[in-house]
């Protein structure tokens, strides 16, 4: 390691420690019923002009067209560990949750074509669970997050890993996630007590077969060869399903398309294979069969895109979908840098090329 790299590592570790200390001061010690005031954070957004690093021209990869992206940093290390995100309906505001219990809000500026050209106006505040005191990092390890209509009310819904929990709160002004009320879970979800638990959560859009409900998926198989997932129906009943675990990729997030198909984000990270990202598409018909109890076998789906070392990716963990004013479906992705100087916090945006 060079001296500059070592210095960068020390700075990153110090910044991560400051972020954790800030979290502990603001989010523990008192059972949370309200959130502390948001704290401003100065975001440095370095543009990513091309998704492809070497050897491939153009903006198209698989079924996606690259619309723009940024590497995100800040001076005091509070931006990091991002694992899920939601972008509002007009594409102007991003809210992301971290795996150490911090929520980040920021504005996205766009050009005349609707593509992102800047991220700023940042603020952070802790994630909180109503009536609970966070005693350790894993208590607030938010991995899945979405906002939508569940059970007749517009809510923010969050999935936590290790131990597995899901909480919801009424959707708050500005996109912030208020103190969450934990909901009852089936025993097979509650059995996840360690890492590799709940990772993905997506609320079904109105007018689709699963409207009023949501899907949650674990990171990897617990036993057997398929990754477990569950659908919570609008009436509160649960349906379990399996998702084929392919090529060593683990699940990190999911998001519904407007018509009811489900996109599933997967990542490959670690030696000896390096890093990878894949997005699969599960059909609304297959999900409806799970809901009806008529599905046969594990779900698989088609691959929309797969990326690796030749593209600008990192540990891709969060995904969101929305429709822009021109009627184009857009996909936003965020990476979890694990608060390591060897990794990056990336925001990447694509248009679905259909």
Q: What is the pLDDT of residues 41-100, one digit of tens each?
A: 999 999 999 999 876 667 888 999 999 999 999 988 889 999 999 999 899 999 999 999
Q: What average pLDDT does range 152-181 have in this prediction?
A: 93
Count CA atoms closer than 13 A to 228's CA, side-chain side.
Answer: 19
14 has a pLDDT exceeding 70: no
Distances (CA, A) of 345 to 145, 177, 263, 303, 339: 18, 21, 22, 25, 9
> What per-residue confidence (pLDDT) applies to 8?
42
Q: How far is CA 176 from CA 71, 93, 208, 267, in A?
A: 23, 11, 26, 27
Average pLDDT across the chain, whole number = 89
Two structure tokens written together for 187: 């025993």
Q: Where are the alpha helices (DSSP H) in 198-304?
A: 284-292
Nearest to 141 by CA among 121, 123, 162: 162
Pairwise CA distance, residues 345 & 354, whole Å: 28
Number of structural domains the chain divides into: 1
pLDDT at 345 over 80: yes
pLDDT band at 166 (very low <50, low <70, confident <90, very high): very high
Gap between the Cα atoms of 307 and 43, Å rounded: 27
Q: What is the pLDDT of residues 183-230, one digit of tens each?
A: 999 999 977 666 678 999 999 999 999 999 999 999 999 877 899 999
What are 255's two structure tokens? Answer: 């998001």
Residue closest to 200 by CA, chosen among 227, 239, 177: 227
Q: Any idea which residue has 């990476």 for tokens? A: 335
The number of residues making up the chain comes to 354
Say whether 153 sits in a helix, a strand or coil.
Answer: strand
Specify the CATH number for the domain of residue 134: 2.115.10
Distance CA 177, CA 124 (A): 11
| 101 pLDDT higher than 50 | yes
Write the DSSP symbol of residue 129: B
213, 242 Cβ separation under 8 angstroms: no
344 pLDDT tier (thresholds 50, 70, 90): very high
**297 φ/ψ sector (left φ>0, alpha ψ -120 to 50, else beta):** left
Confidence at residue 36, expressed as pLDDT on a 0 to 100 scale:
81
Give the range of the structural domain holding residue 149, as residue numbers without chain letter: 3-352
Mean per-residue pLDDT for 293-311? Answer: 95
């Amino acid at each position: 390691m060079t001296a500059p790299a070592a210095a960068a590592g020390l700075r990153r570790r110090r910044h991560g420690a400051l972020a954790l200390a800030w979290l502990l001061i603001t989010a523990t010690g008192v059972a949370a019923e309200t959130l502390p005031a948001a704290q401003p954070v100065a975001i440095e957004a370095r543009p990513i002009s091309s998704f492809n690093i070497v050897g491939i021209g153009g903006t198209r990869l698989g079924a996606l067209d690259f619309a723009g992206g940024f590497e995100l940093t800040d001076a005091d290390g509070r931006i990091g560990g991002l694992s899920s995100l939601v972008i509002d309906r007009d594409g102007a505001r991003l809210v992301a949750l971290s795996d150490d219990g911090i929520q980040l809000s920021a504005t996205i500026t766009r050009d005349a074509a609707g593509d992102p050209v800047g991220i700023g106006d940042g603020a952070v505040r802790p994630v909180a669970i109503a009536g609970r005191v966070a005693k350790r990092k894993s208590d607030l390890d938010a991995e899945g997050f979405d906002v939508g209509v569940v059970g007749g009310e517009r809510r923010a819904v969050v999935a936590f890993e290790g131990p597995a929990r899901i909480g919801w709160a009424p959707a708050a002004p500005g996109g912030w996630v208020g103190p969450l009320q934990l909901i009852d879970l089936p025993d097979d979800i509650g059995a996840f007590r360690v890492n590799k638990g709940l990772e993905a959560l997506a609320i079904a859009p109105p007018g689709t077969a699963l409207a009023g409900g949501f899907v949650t998926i674990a990171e990897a198989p617990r036993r057997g060869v398929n990754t477990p997932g569950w659908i919570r129906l609008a009436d509160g009943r649960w349906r379990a399903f399996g998702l084929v675990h392919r090529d060593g990729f683990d699940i990190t997030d999911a998001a519904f398309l407007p018509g009811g198909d489900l996109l599933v984000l997967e990542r490959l990270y670690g030696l000896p294979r390096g890093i990878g990202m894949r997005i699969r598409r599960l059909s609304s018909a297959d999900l409806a069969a799970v809901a009806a109890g008529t599905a046969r076998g594990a779900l698989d789906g088609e691959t929309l895109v797969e990326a690796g070392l030749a593209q600008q990716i990192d540990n891709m963990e969060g995904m969101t979908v929305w429709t822009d004013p021109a009627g184009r479906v857009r996909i936003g992705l965020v990476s979890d840098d694990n608060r390591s100087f060897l990794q990056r916090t990336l925001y990447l945006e694509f248009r679905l090329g259909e």
